[in-house]
Structure 1
Amino acid sequence: MKGTLLMLSLFVSQSLTLSQGNSHCDDDNSIDNSSDGSCETSFGTSIYEPDKYTKVSNPPLGNPPTDERSSQPPSESFGMTDFPCDVSESNSPIPESVHKLRPGDIKVIGALGDSLTAANGADASWILSVFFEYRGLSWSIGGDKKLDKITTLPNMLKLYNEDLIGYSTGTGWLKRVKARFNVAVRGSKSTDMVAQARKLIEEMKKVRGNEYVYDWKMVTLFVGGNDLCDWVNATKGIQPEEYKGNIKEALDLLEREMPRTFVNLVQAPNVTQLAENTKKGCRVIRSMVCRSVIHGDRKKNLGDIIKKYRQELRSLVEDFYEDSDTFTVVVQPMFEEIILPRLERSDRVDGSYFAPDCFHFSRKGHEAAAKALWNNLFEPLGEKTNNFDPKRGIPLKCPTEENPYICTRKNGRACN
């Protein structure tokens, strides 16, 4: 055990350096050596200058021992071949109001957040692979392959608009070319959202040019897990009011600088539920990634803090962002209560929905999350699903000819 922890510690140290500068570019779910050590965007602008960073080599991951592999069966089938919604092209003109936005109207997609959006460990086979970011599989912003192979929000939207841009593909850090408009950074907290919002605005303006002000955009902001995991007591940690202020500052920046935008503001997860996973090794890993959930007194306080975080986000959106026809924010609550999937005829948590660290989503978990977010889009306020139960199955909801719009507070029940 001590040897494993030492190896993890060394890998964390290396990975922090790698996250700032790595001599690999990604392509089609692989990481390949680039010829010059730099990563070029598809528009020819270098976004990584290797001379600025200390180079380190990747740790030799090799083949993990059998008992450290993911519990996700290698024969697991993914994707969706029976998408139930009508994706025929609409004859309606592009709307002038965000409250009349349909899936096919969305041209650009982006995301802000932490490792759950960067998709750390989504296709990891053992514990050290969790430090790799499988951005192309990310529930809210990944766009690898097509929907019949991988279920993500962008892959569903691509059925309505094959010209959708901004989604991530492949595997790699933020500075890799195919991260595109996924500006999430692992370890991020609410205090980092303004910087991410600014980065997203800069990248979209650079890529879209004159079209930037005309494109309808969908941005998903999901952060709070690290804020909560770092919580110690009432005098340390990010207070609920501060959390709200951090999110508001980022949203205000988006409202000023990003016209024609629909923001999914996803509620922070209930990290205390991580303690329910009693799989061997999970407790040790939790002590490294989310200490708050393994200490009885902290865990009790954390439940109250989570409730206050969520109340603050609801009040924030109720007080602001409703009057504009070109910008809106909708709280999507599907992660408020995560019903951990259980193995059949057992009370043990089904680890196939999680990465080997028992914290991040596996590819299977990301697909379930994508379906849950899709459903929240078409559920009116007050009727949105707020429990995430991947094991039960998540039948998709669809826009209809009578109610074609993505739900906002202003369009009320007209959206569904």
Structure 2
Amino acid sequence: MFQRTPEQTPLFPRFAMNPNLQLFLNREALYHRVPNQIDEYYDEQFIRKSDYYGNGLFSTVFIRSRSRNMVILMVFLFLVFLFIINSYDGSTIVEDKTPLPTMQPETALYEYPSIGVSESVMEQCLGEYLSSVDTGEPYPDDANKVKVHHIRVIGALGDSLTIGALAQNMINQTGRQFSGNSFITGAEHSISSHLTIYNILKYIADRVGYKITGGSQGIGYGRHTGFNVAIEGARSFQLPDQADELIKRMKENKDVDITRDWKLISLWIGTNDPGKLNHGTAAPVNGSYYKSQIEIALQKLKENLPRTIVSIIGMFPAELLQEARSIIETGKRPRQFEDEQALDSLIEEYRKALIEIQNDPIFNTKEFAVVVQPFATKYNTPFKNSSGAYDPIFYATDIFHLSKYGHAVIAKNLWQNLFEPVGKKTENADLGDTRAQIFKLTKENCLIRTIGNS
């Protein structure tokens, strides 16, 4: 008769040498040792640990039935495979390549602040206007008659300031471009958490009964940025390519009626064009070339996207963005006086070029209009809060790009500029007025202002 040897005894953690266990496994032996006190100790230890390791005895029933169980398992897996194959409908699963935000556990609760507008305040600011909306009114065919609730599509061209570079939600959140927080197309949060132009338009759309298309979400570049095709580090010569990309995205989107829907497109470019006069190494782009590249991009939009209003943000003074860190930390601008004069002069060239484009009849028709929004063109200091003190809350970690909070500030002031007549628009906005409210609309002031209706 077969007898197990100690080498054949299954090894259980901590209990392989338990005499009682050996006695059981060698139960067919001719001779058995009489248990003693040490054996009782091993029994107690084995029973005490059995809840953690499971049943300590590999019974012969289990060993003999293992093959049968494996057969049953294989049959089960085969049936599951057949079920999956029969359920497959031929559709393609597209993997979302957007990097997920990550953060260190110790900083996971530290969220960057923003400006959100509550439901009650939105009602105070827009309630009168919304109650005047006639959903049965004819849809306008003239850019000079477009009210804000006629906008169906939103988009953007530009550089890092438009794509939301470094506008994180959380401290230590990885990534560079946070388009979901962009002042213009940001759709990552509700209006009560983060103020953006898209969120205001969505609030209106939800109450009037239509859909707004083009909002941005996620981190990095890709289709999740919606109709925000801005690129970090972009200069004016890259705008024509951005225009092509925007046209492509809009034409491919089934929610956009290219010929009927009114579109609001933001254009903000020029921060990188001064090159080595600013923070770059390239030769500065002169005002004439800067203007020509914007005109090429606008012409592309005009030819391919009828019923479009382009809102161009006027160039900010260097002190507000590029030089903010130096001024806050040292109290002075970072360059020699002659270089500062050259930079200021070039920025003024850019501003004049934008006004010339706005006033060009080519870009002011019933189907296409261009308007400059100059709300901070004369704000020639770093951001100051309501107390009049420099406040880095407006800036990202580099004290140059906009923080999530800064994007909300820009959205608030851009919103007001949209409804101010051309020639009477705010140029030195009180950016430090960060009260959680927006410019109030009524039946009389809800037109998006253009050259033709100002």
Pairwise same-fold verdict (TM > 0.5): yes
Q: Aligned equivalents of 1:258 and 1:44: distance in 2?
A: 31
Q: Does 1:231 align with 2:264?
A: no
Of the two, which has the highest radius of gyration?
2
Relative to structure 1, the CA distance from residue 45 to residue 223 in structure 2 (aligned partners, 3 Å threshold; closer, same or farther) is: farther
Q: Aligned equivalents of 2:258 and 2:148: distance in 1?
A: 18
Q: Which residue of 1 aligns with 2:214?
A: 166
Q: Which residue of 1 aligns with 2:347?
A: 306
Q: Does 1:245 align with 2:286?
A: no
Which amino acid letter does the alignment assign opposite residue 166 of structure 1? G
Q: Secondary structure at the match of 1:213?
A: coil
Map 1:115-130; keep pairs closer than 5 Å: 115-123=160-168
Correspondence for 2:227 among 168, 175, 181: 181
Relative to structure 1, the CA distance from residue 204 to residue 350 in structure 2 (aligned partners, 3 Å threshold; closer, same or farther) is: same
Q: Does 1:368 align with 2:412?
A: no
Which amino acid letter does the alignment assign opposite residue 335 of structure 1? A
Q: Which residue of 1 aligns with 2:376?
A: 335
Q: Aligned equivalents of 2:451 and 2:229: distance in 1?
A: 27
Q: Which residue of 2 aligns with 1:264?
A: 311
Relative to structure 1, the CA distance from residue 299 to residue 124 in structure 2 (aligned partners, 3 Å threshold; closer, same or farther) is: farther
Q: Secondary structure at the match of 1:205?
A: helix
Which amino acid letter does the alignment assign opposite residue 135 of structure 1? S
2:161 and 2:401 in contact (8 A); partners too? yes
Q: Which residue of 2 aligns with 1:196?
A: 242
Relative to structure 1, the CA distance from residue 114 to residue 131 in structure 2 (aligned partners, 3 Å threshold; closer, same or farther) is: farther
Map 1:61-72; keep pairs closer than 5 Å: 62=104
Q: Does 1:113 align with 2:158?
A: yes
Deviation at 1:293, TM superposition (A): 5.1
Q: Identify unmatched segments of 5+ residues in structure 2.
A: 1-90
Q: Which residue of 2 aligns with 1:34?
A: none
Q: Which residue of 1 aligns with 2:6?
A: none
Q: Aligned equivalents of 1:156 and 1:210: distance in 2?
A: 19
Deviation at 1:210, TM superposition (A): 7.6
Q: Identify unmatched segments of 5+ residues in structure 1.
A: 1-42, 51-56, 284-291
Deviation at 1:76, TM superposition (A): 6.3
Deviation at 1:44, TM superposition (A): 7.7
Which amino acid letter does the alignment assign opposite residue 396 of structure 1? I
Task: String of CA shifts for 1:247-282, please: whole Å, max 9, x gaps.
Answer: 1110011111110101001112212444344488x7
1:174 and 1:184 in contact (8 A); partners too? no
Q: Does 1:102 align with 2:143?
A: no
1:124 and 1:362 in contact (8 A); partners too? no
Q: Which residue of 1 aligns with 2:134?
A: 90
Q: Does 1:407 align with 2:449?
A: yes
Map 1:388-399; keep pairs closer than 5 Å: 388-393=429-434, 396-399=438-441
Deviation at 1:352, TM superposition (A): 0.9
Query: Which moves more between the two structures, 207-216 or 73-82?
Result: 73-82
Deviation at 1:376, TM superposition (A): 0.7
Q: Aligned equivalents of 1:180 and 1:247: distance in 2?
A: 22
Give the alignment's Cα RMSD to 1 decimal.
Answer: 3.5
Task: Report the TM-score when normalising by structure 2.
Answer: 0.68
Deviation at 1:204, TM superposition (A): 0.2
Q: Secondary structure at the match of 2:253?
A: helix
Q: Secondary structure at the match of 1:371?
A: helix
Relative to structure 1, the CA distance from residue 398 to residue 100 in structure 2 (aligned partners, 3 Å threshold; closer, same or farther) is: farther
Correspondence for 1:255 among 265, 277, 302: 302
Q: Aligned equivalents of 1:193 and 1:357: distance in 2?
A: 25
Q: Aligned equivalents of 1:259 and 1:174: distance in 2?
A: 26
1:102 and 1:406 in contact (8 A); partners too? yes
Q: Aligned equivalents of 2:334 and 2:355: distance in 1?
A: 24
Task: String of CA shifts for 1:164-192, please: whole Å, max 9, x gaps.
Answer: 011102x22222x3211110110001111
Relative to structure 1, the CA distance from residue 383 to residue 257 in structure 2 (aligned partners, 3 Å threshold; closer, same or farther) is: same
1:201 and 1:257 in contact (8 A); partners too? yes
Q: Which residue of 2 aligns with 1:3?
A: none
Which amino acid letter does the alignment assign opposite residue 178 of structure 2? Y
Deviation at 1:389, TM superposition (A): 2.9
Q: Does 1:78 align with 2:116?
A: yes
Relative to structure 1, the CA distance from residue 135 to residue 383 in structure 2 (aligned partners, 3 Å threshold; closer, same or farther) is: same
Correspondence for 1:384 among 399, 406, 425: 425
2:101 and 2:175 in contact (8 A); partners too? no
Q: Aligned equivalents of 2:193 and 2:103: distance in 1?
A: 26
Q: Secondary structure at the match of 2:277?
A: coil
Map 1:21-32; keep pairs closer than 5 Å: none
Map 1:284-299; keep pairs closer than 5 Å: 294-299=335-340
Q: Secondary structure at the match of 1:330?
A: strand
2:275 and 2:285 in contact (8 A); partners too? no
Q: Secondary structure at the match of 1:161?
A: helix
